[in-house]
Amino acid sequence: MRKLRFRAPRLRSVVVAALLIGVAAFVGKALARVHVRHVTGTAVVAHTDCLTCHGGGAPLEYVRGTAHPTPFDIVAGPDGRTLYVACGPTRRVAVVDLTGRTLSRWIAIDGNPGGLAVSPDGATLAVSLNDVGAVAVLDAASGRERARIDVGLEPAGLAFASGGATLFVANSGSGDVSVVDVAAQRERLRIPAGREPFRVAVSPVGGQVAVVSRMAALIRPDEVPYAELTLLREESGRVERRVRLVSAHQAEGMAYSRDGSRVLIPSLRVRNLLPITQVARGWVVSGVLCSVDSTSGALAVLPLGTVNRPFADPAGIAISGDGTRAWIASGGGDQIAAIDLAEALAREAACAPDAPEPQALTRTYLTSRAPTGSRPGGVAAVGDIVVVSERLSDTIALYSAADLSFIARIQLGPVLEDDAVQRGARVFHDASFAFQGAFSCRSCHPGGHTDGLTYDFDIDGVGRNIVLNRSLHGVKGTAPFKWSGLNPTLKRQCGARFAMVLTRADVFPDAALDDLVTYIESMPPPRPNGGSERALGFPIDAAARGRGLFFRDTRKDGTPIPPNARCNTCHSPPHYSNFGRADVGTGTRLDTSGEFDIPHLTGIGRKAPYLHDGRATTLEGIWTAPGVDDHHGVMTDLNKADLNDLVEFLRGL
């Protein structure tokens, strides 16, 4: 009895204390929202607390999945027996014996391998390491690293010049191509090459190198997008010609015809200036093969799909030894197609880039298709077989070059149990969920990022509320979603809304939607591309000065800045957003409202273009756009040097 008498008052105290804490938390949350609405002038505040603006907030944590091999790039040695496979997440290169059809060994690398190239004599293997901005030069036989050469940011595809003494490297992060002297182990020069240069190919007849940018250029949102093909002289690196691939986008593969007369680039063809009502006709995004005359730069756009059978997310391409055939992977359709090149090139005159796609022609040159594993990417032609990397199946598949009949599948390491991240990645890259299987989530969000294009979603009227596609990197914990801030969860954003507005099909099944959300929440913000610059070997403090400007509460003349005009009121750490909405003077006559979701700024330096309609192609343009003035934070007292400092701080977030 004594124990009961002792515990009862203590239990009542605990219960009362818990209730008081709960009430205080509820009231505090409500008061915090009232305060934020008052300070920022926004009508709706989704969720916030005192720590959102006052204090560091919670650390940014993202879902972690199992590291799968994820075979991205493949390249065959000149002996026709050896295949090298870049398995970035495991920081290894797999060496496959094509004769024995087995995985023979692994090469461990201190870096994330993204692209591969083998020297003409087969003795040297070059590996781009996209996380460290370097190329590892390896002895192909032993796997020993001979040298590590610094190049640009996030190197992707690369290729040896015909003599093997020079290496051309596409730097997707810095938008240029490095010309590397292999013997001297140094970068000789660097050349601008479009937005996210991704693949490099060397003409089989020598003299020319082609570099294709994966992403469309940053232009005005009402202009027709285009990717860039940069043609270089092999011996000097001099730019010979820059070709606009009109409406082409997300080119991840490229090859020369065997006579060197054509550069062949599978890509998406986007018509983002059309309203999304045209999804039902296949007129918003479609798979095509760009054929560029390597001498004149003339462009033809050959369709790869038909009216009722699209070719989603074209990826890698390989050309047969005799030059008569090509094989192209459909990354969203989980298939590989064979192309009769002579028939295809004979149709170029009917496939002008400014004309509608004559999809009926596809049947004259697309000779066969074969199913593959999940998300096929790299393709290589080795003798009488065609090799395909099945990225989300962790396998390499072999097909007969004669008729695409299946030969064998090679597992890259032990079979790993699927987790939600891996399953969600498959959903993200699977076009079968969209109308007629025309496109996937990846079609607009390459690598989970953004294509940088604006779209007219007709749900609120054709020609109204045209908005920029936003990056998915770092979105966990940043609800609400959409520029209007109307979707409270990712499940709502990616489920019912996605089906109603974009796919024009059934919503994702519940389990698939859960996995998709987990996959999206596993993506951290893009790596910062600023904040650590040096001049003459000494660190410069531009980012520190910019941070002071971002968190300032007075003008340069000492007068106070109202709370609702301070940068950090709306953009507070750790996500640099208060998750509300605000009118910063950027609305147009096409917008129903001038009030938009306050975006999080983590990784903002890698998320161009900016503003809700993409009109600002640079961070500077956010404040220099017409009509912004001091609506978007107090900025008119800053000079150009101050603005540069502020931008440098933002690039480092």
**Residue 405, pLDDT score:** 97
What is the CATH T-level fold of the domain 2-60+526-651, as seen in this structure?
Cytochrome Bc1 Complex; Chain D, domain 2 (1.10.760)
Q: Give the other-Cβ count within 10 Å of 447's Cβ.
A: 15
Please give the average per-residue pLDDT across 414-434, as a whole number.
93
The highest-confidence range among 127-131, 561-565, 644-648, by mean pLDDT, is 127-131
List pLDDT tens digits, range 301-347: 999 998 788 999 999 999 999 999 999 999 999 999 999 999 999 99
**Residue 585, pLDDT score:** 85
Structure tokens at 505: 């099909």
Give the separation between CA 115 and CA 74, rounded to whole angstroms: 8
Between residues 653 and 61, which one has the greater pLDDT? Answer: 653
**Residue 624, pLDDT score:** 82
List pLDDT tens digits, range 518-535: 999 999 988 776 655 554
Rounded percentage of the chain residues whose pLDDT exceeds 90: 66
Q: Which of 62-76, 387-401, 452-466, 508-522 has the lowest mean pLDDT?
A: 452-466
Between residues 564 and 197, which one has the greater pLDDT? Answer: 197
pLDDT at 64 over 70: yes
Kind of pairing, strands 134-139 and 145-150? antiparallel
pLDDT at 146 over 80: yes
List pLDDT tens digits, range 165-175: 999 999 999 99
Q: Which of 55-69, 227-241, 537-551 has the lowest mean pLDDT?
A: 55-69
SS3 598: coil
Q: Please compute Rg for the chain using Cα positions.
A: 27
User: Average model confidence (pLDDT) for the chain?
Assistant: 88
pLDDT band at residue 271 using 50, 70 and 90 as cut-offs: confident
**Residue 463, pLDDT score:** 79
**Residue 404, pLDDT score:** 97
SS3 161: coil
Q: Which of 194-203, 304-313, 451-460, 468-477 has the lowest mean pLDDT?
A: 451-460
Q: Which of 258-267, 453-462, 542-551 has the lowest mean pLDDT?
A: 453-462
Contact status, residue 156 vs residue 130, Cβ threshold 8 Å: yes
pLDDT at 423 over 90: yes
Rounded to the nearest 10 degrees, the angle between the axes of helix 420-428 and helix 510-521 is 100
pLDDT band at residue 1 using 50, 70 and 90 as cut-offs: very low
**Residue 27, pLDDT score:** 59
Give the separation between CA 62 and CA 518, rounded to whole angstroms: 9
> What's the per-residue H, E or C state across 488-525?
CCHHHHHCHHHHHHHHCCCCCCHHHHHHHHHHHHCCCC
Between residues 353 and 503, which one has the greater pLDDT? Answer: 353
Please give the average per-residue pLDDT across 402-408, as a whole number.
97
Residue count of the chain, please give it. Answer: 653
Within 8 A by CB and 6+ apart from 155, the residues are: 114, 115, 128, 129, 130, 133, 134, 135, 169, 170, 171, 172, 178
**Residue 355, pLDDT score:** 84
The answer, yes or no, to whether the previous bond of 609 is cis (omega within 30 of 0) is yes
The residue ranges of DSSP E strands in 225-375, in sequence order, are 226-233, 239-246, 248-249, 255-256, 262-270, 285-293, 299-303, 314-319, 325-330, 335-340, 366-371
Query: Hey, CA dihedral for 555, 558, 563, 568, is it positive or negative?
Result: positive
pLDDT at 282 over 80: no
For 291, what's the count of Cα atoms within 13 Å in the CB-facing half-sphere?
23
Of 217, 240, 238, nearest to 297 (Cα)?
240
- Residue-wise DSSP of 52-66: HHSS--S--------
Please give the average per-residue pLDDT across 524-550, as a whole number.
73
**Residue 553, pLDDT score:** 93
Q: Which of 4-8, 33-37, 58-62, 609-613 has the lowest mean pLDDT?
A: 4-8
**Residue 492, pLDDT score:** 87
Q: Domains of the chain: which residue ranges?
A: 2-60+526-651
Give the separation between CA 269 and CA 449, rounded to whole angstroms: 18
Please give the average per-residue pLDDT across 294-303, as a whole number.
97
Please give the average per-residue pLDDT across 59-77, as a whole number.
87
pLDDT band at residue 52 using 50, 70 and 90 as cut-offs: very low
Q: Give the other-Cβ count within 10 Å of 544's Cβ.
A: 14
**Residue 633, pLDDT score:** 87
The residue ranges of DSSP E strands in 383-537, in sequence order, are 385-390, 395-400, 406-411, 454-455, 467-468, 534-535
Structure tokens at 152: 């640009």
**Residue 635, pLDDT score:** 87
Q: Give the other-Cβ count within 10 Å of 558's Cβ.
A: 6
Residue 459 is classified by DSSP as G
Contact status, residue 176 vs residue 189, Cβ threshold 8 Å: no
pLDDT at 502 over 60: yes
| 76-79 contacts, C-beta under 8 A, 24 or more apart | 76/118, 76/380, 76/382, 76/387, 77/118, 77/122, 77/140, 78/118, 78/120, 78/121, 78/122, 79/122
**Residue 649, pLDDT score:** 92
Give the separation between CA 563 and CA 631, rounded to whole angstroms: 12
pLDDT at 28 over 80: no
**Residue 345, pLDDT score:** 96
Structure tokens at 602: 């983590």
Q: Which of 421-435, 487-501, 523-537 has the lowest mean pLDDT?
A: 523-537
SS3 201: strand
Give the separation between CA 532 and CA 648, rounded to whole angstroms: 9
**Residue 458, pLDDT score:** 75
pLDDT at 539 over 80: no
**Exposure letters 416-428 (e unless 16+ CB within 10 A, then b):** eebbbbbbbbbbb
Give the separation between CA 461 and CA 391, rounded to whole angstroms: 39
Structure tokens at 565: 């005009």
**Residue 13, pLDDT score:** 65
Give the separation between CA 258 and CA 596, rounded to whole angstroms: 52
Q: Which of 25-34, 88-97, 194-203, 559-568 has the lowest mean pLDDT?
A: 25-34
Contact status, residue 529 vs residue 153, Cβ threshold 8 Å: yes
Kind of pairing, strands 285-293 and 385-390? unpaired
**Residue 4, pLDDT score:** 43
Structure tokens at 142: 């032993």
In what side-by-side order are the strands of the sheet with 166-171? 155-160, 166-171, 176-181, 186-192
With left for phi above 0 and alpha for psi between -120 and 50, is residue 484 left, alpha or beta? alpha
Instruction: Identify any residues that bridge with 535 across adjacent strands, giving them in sequence order.
Output: 538
The alpha-helical segments, DSSP class H, found in 271-395 are 341-345, 362-365
**Residue 206, pLDDT score:** 82
Of 513, 476, 471, nearest to 494 (Cα)?
513
